[in-house]
Amino acid sequence: MTSASALADLLTLVRDAAREGGRMALAHWREGGTTTASVDYKSGGSPVTEADLAVDAYLGERLRRAEPGFGWLSEETADDPSRLERRHVWVVDPIDGTRSFARGDADWTVAIGLVEDGIPVLGAVYAPVTDEMYAAVRGAGATLGDAPIGVSARRELSGSRIVGPKPLVDAVLEEGRAFERTPRTHSLALRLVRVAEGRVDVGVAEAHAHDWDLAAAHVILSEAGGALIGRDGRVPVYNRRSTKHTAVAAGPEPLARELADILRAVDLRRVAIEDGTPRRR
């Protein structure tokens, strides 16, 4: 197990790297306008910009030089299966929320996580436009800047402020619970750390989020007293052969577990509809 002092030293490195990566991306960002970076599209239709690739290259060089024995997993780097043989793996999204970045919105981040034996032990999520740095290491609490943060003290799910993609939030509302809908946050990492700081009570994400969307924010959420729970009732584990995850719920642990149950009901209803047998209400 990595010592607390070693993790603290690594967090200093990671925070600095995230800030520099954010500065690089900001050079191509235009408030309310199209990025100056060239834009291409992946096979699934999601965009990638030259800024994503430049930040990815910078982070890969800096972090891997610092810890050459660690594995590497990034959204913008071809997957190297040798990571599966490493106890420690950097898990990176150079720009989480590329669509927002490309159109000049502010809700995008640089996310850097460190996973040890499948569990996130260090994370930094940096929002360059607002200069907000969320960070945590295992066992030392979570911070926004230099100030400690914690999840909402809310005890009941009904009436909670919820953040998530509109289709999923709509589906959750159809399950009969009353929530206070908040504006969508396109960066999933930013969505989760805003739950961690108590800005919103709970959050949700659709299935097929990847390790790089979740890992950095997961440790911040955990150290802020919260939980990330899959619709299957399990806590996500990282650095597996498949990097994809089920739909997840975030918040204070009792609320996150209750919300995960609702996500399971949503999934069952969707399956029933697709099969042509809508669930009775």
pLDDT, one tens digit per residue, over 35-76 is 999 999 988 788 999 999 999 999 999 999 999 999 999 999
Q: Helices 4-26 and 50-66 meet at what angle, rounded to 10?
A: 160
pLDDT at 239 over 60: yes
Instruction: Report the alpha-carbon distance of residue 230 to residue 207 in Å, rounded.
Output: 9
Share of the chain above pLDDT 70, in %: 96
Regarding whether 80 and 38 lie in a shared domain, the answer is yes
Q: Which of 141, 142, 145 minimizes the C-alpha distance to 126?
A: 145
Regarding whether 175 and 133 lie in a shared domain, the answer is no
**Burial call 253-268: b when 16+ CB within 10 Å, e when fewer:** eebbebbbbbbbbbbe
Per-residue model confidence as pLDDT tens digits over 255-268: 999 999 999 998 88
pTM, to two decimals: 0.94
**Residue 180: burial class (beta carbons within 10 Å; 0-12, 13-18, 19+):** exposed
Regarding whether 262 and 214 lie in a shared domain, the answer is yes
Integer angstrom CA distances of residue 146 from 135, 136, 169, 197:
9, 11, 32, 13
How many domains is the chain partitioned into structurally? 2
3-state secondary structure of 101: helix
In a domain, 177, yes or no: yes
Regarding whether 134 and 176 lie in a shared domain, the answer is no
- In terms of pLDDT, which residue wins out, 140 or 276? 140
Residue 93 · residue 73 · CB < 8 Å: no
Q: Mean pLDDT score of the chain, rounded to an integer? A: 93
pLDDT recorded at residue 268: 80
Counting DSSP H helices and E strands in the chain, the numbers are 7, 14
pLDDT recorded at residue 274: 56
Residue 51 · residue 30 · CB < 8 Å: no
In a domain, 24, yes or no: yes
Regarding whether 117 and 232 lie in a shared domain, the answer is no
**Residue 3: burial class (beta carbons within 10 Å; 0-12, 13-18, 19+):** exposed
Given pLDDT bands bounded at 50, 70 and 90, which one contains residue 4?
confident
pLDDT recorded at residue 3: 82
Instruction: Report the alpha-carbon distance of residue 220 to residue 113 in Å, rounded.
Output: 10
pLDDT at 131 over 70: yes
In a domain, 122, yes or no: yes
Regarding whether 195 and 143 lie in a shared domain, the answer is no
Residue 112 · residue 18 · CB < 8 Å: yes
pLDDT at 280 over 50: no
CATH number, position 116:
3.30.540.10
CATH number, position 170:
3.40.190.80
Q: Which domain holds residue 76?
A: 4-148
In a domain, 156, yes or no: no
**Residue 103: burial class (beta carbons within 10 Å; 0-12, 13-18, 19+):** middle
Regarding whether 126 and 169 lie in a shared domain, the answer is no
